[in-house]
Amino acid sequence: MNPQTQEGMGPLDKLLEVIRYKTIVLRGCLGFGISSMSGTMGKDPAMRENLCSLL
């Protein structure tokens, strides 16, 4: 999901959504993991490197 392309959001809503998105990615980058339907992402070093590149 790209938070910057959602319609119907005000500037503050967009900012909060970007902050939420970046926080999730940062947690995965640091190795805390991201829970998803397919399991926990961010525990694998290669996945952490990919998440860090998104920052």
> Which backbone phi and psi does 41 adopt, to 5 degrees?
-95, 155
**Cβ count within 10 A of residue 18:** 13
- Residue 20 sits at the vertex; the CA angle it makes with 55 and 4, to the nearest 5 degrees, is 75
Provide the residue-wise pLDDT of the chain in tens; the chain has 55 residues. 555 555 667 889 999 999 998 988 888 888 776 665 555 555 677 877 888 888 8
Residue with token string 């961010």: 42
pTM: 0.59
